[in-house]
A and B are shown apart, each in its own frame.
Chain A
């Protein structure tokens, strides 16, 4: 395995790192590892690096890169929002790998805002044959509400938390001047209407795009294993294309070592299996 730092596109190139296996084969799909929020391309707790190296050991090439103005990539001029520019930049990176290495199929992986970009890009570009998403768009169901309120009503911790969060909110208002020193994504994550997502997912299913969905306990819209399927029950027939895992004890940015390993292993195995299926 070897790694190279690359600059992709112009006039302000996107910066990334390609992890290339010793036995590189351009027939296998390459994996694009996308930014999560403002975290640069090493990913949360170095998850993207660990995933890239694990994939390389299975003979799969990947690139982890920064969208413009994130991490090591310079800002680009223009009036596009992040939601508009990020899928186009992802396509630019796919074009680069296609041109330089002859790769024709791609798998996209992203967490949180990266998951959203993976979905948006897959809709736009038919070279995408699979997307792996951690905490993607997800929607509440009647069973979610039942679980949620049943648990809250009788949980003393929930009441304590409610009060302490109100206090925290108050102290945040008092310390508003401190906000000038923090940087968070300026575009807040808004879940599109469920019907729009269902329509997009149906397009992907029709193209036989495979989906690996992982939901963590940090996703507050979610509280039971099969909620993703249930929320789309009458709208999308995933056939054999959906792999769904729920990790209620994992935080959103997967700081726990146990879950870091689990996520890397799950994704590596799924992508490797997918590569084999596509080759066949």
Chain B
């Protein structure tokens, strides 16, 4: 496991590279596209474990932080979702350079799923895994706003969630600028996921949104769907920063990719 900064010197991105282990040469590298905010914090350990398992199975892995998030340069105010798509491209180039691998796959959780799906319409992606993915930017914003309204009157909740007069949204300790929100509204898996991909949709909870995405993606020739039941409350925030380790989903992803 090797932590590194990559990308341009003006906009360095932090990542962790897990080199492929074992005797099986797969000629496939996987870039992990992370979710945002508390969802990113809550999934960090799961991503590390998944990266470890997949590296053991012979895949090169790069997980990284988008611009303005995690250890990467800048602040959220400086970037939009379109910059994050560029960051994923940067990560793909980096792992290609590091490993010489031609086949690049993407795994995306929640917002990371939406971004990974969007990117698959821009460039050739070998395999695409959408994990509890957001279907569209509009859905995502609606979901967060619903959470803000529904939890508004809960006493003892340590968060201060609101939309301010300028349109910035503050959610579970992270902020979205109006410019960022606008950029995310343009994203949708319904119009943009490439038909050339081999695709897996994996969900921890089946609901109306996951069914909608399934009925869209099922039109693809190479589509698999797995419901691996386990907790998937990514936006929950507690006072100790507890993490979620959805082992059934992680096992399903490793098995499908291997």
Contact = CB atoms under 8 A, between A and B. Distances in A.
B69 A184 contact: no
A38 B158 contact: no
Nearest to A39: B241
B16 A46 contact: no
Given A42-B70, A253-B241, A260-B173, A183 B45 contact: yes
Contact of B14 (A17, A38, A255, A260): A17
Interface string A56-91: 000000000000000110100000000000000000
Interface residues of A, number: 42
Most B CB within 10 A of own CB, among A15, A39, A254, A258: A39
A5 B1 CA distance: 12
B100 interface: no
Contact of B70 (A46, A180, A181, A184): A46
A182 B160 contact: no
Contacts of B156: 161
A241 interface: no
B44 A45 contact: no
B173 A255 contact: yes
A42 B71 contact: yes
B158 A255 contact: yes
A253 B239 contact: yes
B239 A72 contact: no
Interface in A1-58: 3-7, 15, 17, 36-42, 44-46, 49
Interface string A246-261: 0000011111111010
22 contacts: A3-B5, A3-B71, A5-B3, A5-B71, A37-B241, A38-B45, A38-B241, A38-B243, A39-B241, A42-B71, A44-B41, A49-B70, A74-B1, A161-B155, A180-B247, A181-B244, A181-B247, A182-B245, A183-B242, A252-B158, A255-B173, A260-B173
**Ordered nearest first, which 7 A-B pairs have the shortest CB separation?**
A251-B158, A255-B173, A45-B173, A5-B3, A39-B241, A256-B160, A183-B243
